[in-house]
């Protein structure tokens, strides 16, 4: 290779893709509060008898979108469909299902202060659960006074019990897949060393939509487990110094991830990197919101219509922009 070619190659490696990184980061960042708001709006406005059916249909729609992405041409479009499907799947088939079973079997929320009690009445094996917080009947978890009393919603408390399933998935990824995840690759290098190419001989069949879908769900799942571990006073607690160090570590780590993202020329790869970057970045946001450092306006979407509508408009605009960029690249 000539000196000129080497110089050109070095310049291409140093090139920063600032707009692609910003656009990818923003679309994922805005998806986080929109996902929270969607779940809370459904819970607030839909009847209890229909909210869980709607949640199940939402998750099913997400699965269909991901599967459609397998057959769509273009890395960027497959990534976007995997992202959208993954978010709907997580909201519908993870969060809403945990919500359903937490409500059905009377799982208590964690309170800031006070007393919570539930009474379950079974008729022909079907239960009806009534909950009181400080002696007051709870009609909906979305009621303002209930949200003020709660530290952690019941569905997130039982989510912690899924740690074993998350580890089961991680064992499969670490021992059986040669993939592009920097974290998993680092674990493989540290643990397997010279035997890495023998133990992890080949990748799984790659479908970009499925890869993105799994990244969204595994990252959200893992970070929620981390937060629930930190919040649990039997381990640390939300005001424990280690919890703050976890938040600080995630913030610093997200900056390094963002720096790496700046060098990714492909829209699809940049978006996939942004998923990991934003979810790690969101961890300190959750911790600061937990201790009331700032107002989490997305937890009261009916009171912040303008703010969330603006975020939704920008999210849709970026989604359409990236979709069109994928179409142009396909034609090219």
- pLDDT tens for 93-122 read 999 999 988 888 888 888 888 888 888 788
State how far the Cα of 156 lies from the Cα of 227, in Å rounded to an integer. 10
Determine the pLDDT at residue 11: 45
| Tens digits of residue pLDDT in 19-49 | 999 999 999 999 999 999 998 899 888 887 7
Distances (CA, A) of 321 to 80, 209, 296: 11, 18, 28
| Residue ranges of domains in the chain | 17-106+160-327
**If you ran DSSP here, which 8-state letter would residue 126 be given?**
E
DSSP per-residue codes, 287-322: HHHHTTSS--GGGSGGG-HHHHHHHHHHHHHHHHHH
Query: Could you report the per-residue pLDDT of 161-190, keeping only the tens digit for each?
Result: 999 999 999 999 999 888 878 888 889 989
Could you tell me the pLDDT band of residue 208, with boundaries at 50, 70 and 90? Answer: very high
Residue 127 DSSP code: E
User: pTM score, two decimals?
Assistant: 0.88
């Amino acid at each position: 290779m000539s000196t000129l070619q080497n110089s050109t190659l070095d310049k291409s490696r140093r090139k920063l893709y600032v707009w692609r990184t910003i656009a990818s980061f923003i679309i994922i960042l805005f998806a986080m509060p929109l996902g929270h708001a969607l779940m809370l709006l459904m819970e607030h406005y839909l009847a209890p008898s229909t909210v869980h059916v709607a949640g199940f249909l939402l998750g099913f729609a997400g699965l269909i979108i991901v599967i459609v992405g397998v057959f769509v041409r273009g890395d960027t479009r497959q990534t976007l469909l995997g992202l959208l499907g993954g978010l709907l799947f997580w909201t519908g088939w993870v969060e809403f299902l945990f919500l359903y079973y937490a409500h059905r079997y009377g799982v208590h929320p964690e309170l800031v202060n006070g007393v919570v009690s539930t009474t379950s009445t079974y008729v022909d094996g079907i239960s009806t659960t009534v909950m009181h917080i400080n002696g007051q009947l709870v009609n909906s978890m979305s009621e303002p006074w209930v949200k003020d009393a709660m530290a952690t919603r019941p569905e997130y408390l039982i989510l912690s019990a899924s740690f074993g399933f998350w580890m089961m998935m991680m064992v499969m990824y670490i021992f059986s897949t040669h993939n592009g995840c920097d974290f998993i690759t680092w674990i493989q290098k540290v643990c397997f060393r010279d035997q890495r190419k023998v133990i992890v001989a080949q990748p799984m069949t790659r479908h970009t939509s499925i890869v993105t879908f799994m990244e969204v769900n595994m990252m959200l799942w893992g970070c929620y487990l981390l937060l629930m571990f930190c919040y649990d006073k039997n381990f640390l607690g939300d005001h424990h110094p280690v919890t703050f160090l976890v938040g600080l570590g995630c913030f610093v780590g997200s900056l390094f991830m963002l720096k790496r993202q700046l060098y990714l020329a492909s829209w699809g790869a940049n978006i996939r990197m942004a998923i990991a970057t934003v979810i790690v970045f969101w961890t300190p946001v959750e911790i600061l919101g937990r201790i009331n450092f700032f107002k989490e306006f997305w937890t009261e979407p009916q009171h912040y219509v303008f703010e969330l509508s603006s975020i939704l408009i920008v999210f849709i605009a970026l989604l359409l922009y990236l979709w069109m960029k994928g179409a142009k690249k396909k034609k090219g």
